Every structure is written in structure tokens, then in C-alpha cells.
């Protein structure tokens, strides 16, 4: 006699709702609160459960499973998004001075703006020899005067 046995994951939906999915980056996305348990099967029929129950939150849009704590996650605020945008602009080659002006315009004092930029750049900054503008390391060209950053000797072509 041959026994055909195995195991199977049986999940049931405990609850549904809407949440902020960090993977989709969207608010008000549907989720399923899933409760799952591994079952021992005989002839493909679940006979008894193996191990404990595990619970997770599953996004109905991207199907990603998350820990239950994902429901406590707050979506980024307007200001979070603005700061992220500021950082991206520094990376794309905007001068520190330009982004600082934008931060001041957003309602910060000059000191706060400088503090934010310090946090973003952490001293990884270079100064344009020609006009004195400052850029994040990795940016090769001064946008204000088209001045090129002084490159190490081995990169200079004669």
C-alpha cells in the first residue's frame, strides 16, 4: 500500500481593509489580513495542523505579504516628499545654494535650511573654483557657470 502524504498551507482571511502599502507607495490600497497554517495531508486531504498559526497582511494590489505592524505605518507627508525631492535635485546636480533657497521658501529659516542640507550631504561637498557654488560629491559640472570640477590627474586627457 502506498501512502501519498505531504503538507499544504491553508490560509483564511480574518479581515480586510484599506492601508498605506509601502511597496506600492500608495494610500488607501486594499489589504487582506491572512491567517495561515501548515497542515499535514494524506491523499491531499488535510489531516492535522503542523506548527503554529502565522498571520500577515497582504496587499491586494501588489500581493506583497507584510508583518501586521505595516498597518501602523504612516504614509510620507508632503514635507517628507519635498525633502526627498530636494535630495534628488542635489544628486542630479543642483547646487547646495539653489536647494537651500527652496528650503527657505518652504518656510524654514536659513539656519534650518543649512541644517537640512548638512544632514543630506554629510560633508561630501565640493566647491566650484570659478563661481564658488557648492555641489554634492559625484556631481561633475557646475550648473551655474558650466565650470567643470577639477578632476584627478589620471582623468585629464592631453
Which residues of the shown chain bind Zn ion in the complex (CB under 5 A)?
A: 21, 23-24, 59, 61-62, 128, 130-131, 133, 142, 144-145, 147
Kindly state the smallest distance separating residue 66's Cβ from Zn ion, in Å. 9
Kindly state the smallest distance separating residue 46's Cβ from Zn ion, in Å. 30
- Give the separation between CA 39 and CA 10, rounded to whole angstroms: 7
- Give the separation between CA 105 and CA 116, rounded to whole angstroms: 14
Kindly state the smallest distance separating residue 103's Cβ from Zn ion, in Å. 21
Kindly state the smallest distance separating residue 139's Cβ from Zn ion, in Å. 11
Please, which contacts does 142-146 make with residues 24 or more away whose CB atoms are closer than 8 Å? 142/95, 143/93, 143/94, 143/95, 143/98, 144/95
Q: Which is nearer to Zn ion, 41 or 127 (CB)?
A: 127
Q: Which is nearer to Zn ion, 108 or 143 (CB)?
A: 143
Q: Which is nearer to Zn ion, 40 or 66 (CB)?
A: 66
- CA neighbor of 95 nearest in space, from 48, 134, 140: 134
79 SS3 class: helix
What letter does residue 133 receive in the DSSP assignment? -
Q: Which is nearer to Zn ion, 95 or 116 (CB)?
A: 95
Amino acid at each position: 500500500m502506498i501512502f501519498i502524504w505531504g503538507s499544504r498551507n491553508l490560509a483564511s482571511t480574518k479581515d480586510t481593509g484599506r492601508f498605506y502599502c509601502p511597496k506600492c507607495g500608495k494610500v488607501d490600497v486594499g489589504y487582506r489580513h491572512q491567517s495561515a497554517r501548515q497542515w499535514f495531508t494524506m491523499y491531499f486531504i488535510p489531516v492535522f495542523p503542523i506548527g503554529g498559526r502565522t498571520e500577515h497582511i497582504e496587499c491586494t494590489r501588489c500581493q506583497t505579504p507584510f508583518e501586521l505592524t505595516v498597518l501602523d505605518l504612516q504614509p510620507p507627508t508632503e514635507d517628507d516628499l519635498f525633502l526627498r525631492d530636494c535630495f534628488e535635485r542635489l544628486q542630479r546636480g543642483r547646487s547646495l545654494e539653489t536647494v537651500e533657497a527652496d528650503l527657505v521658501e518652504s518656510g524654514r529659516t536659513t539656519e534650518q535650511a543649512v541644517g537640512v542640507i548638512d544632514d543630506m550631504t554629510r560633508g561630501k561637498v565640493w566647491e566650484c573654483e570659478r563661481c564658488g557654488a557648492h555641489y554634492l560629491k559625484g556631481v561633475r559640472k557646475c550648473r551655474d557657470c558650466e565650470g567643470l570640477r577639477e578632476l584627478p590627474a589620471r582623468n585629464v586627457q592631453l
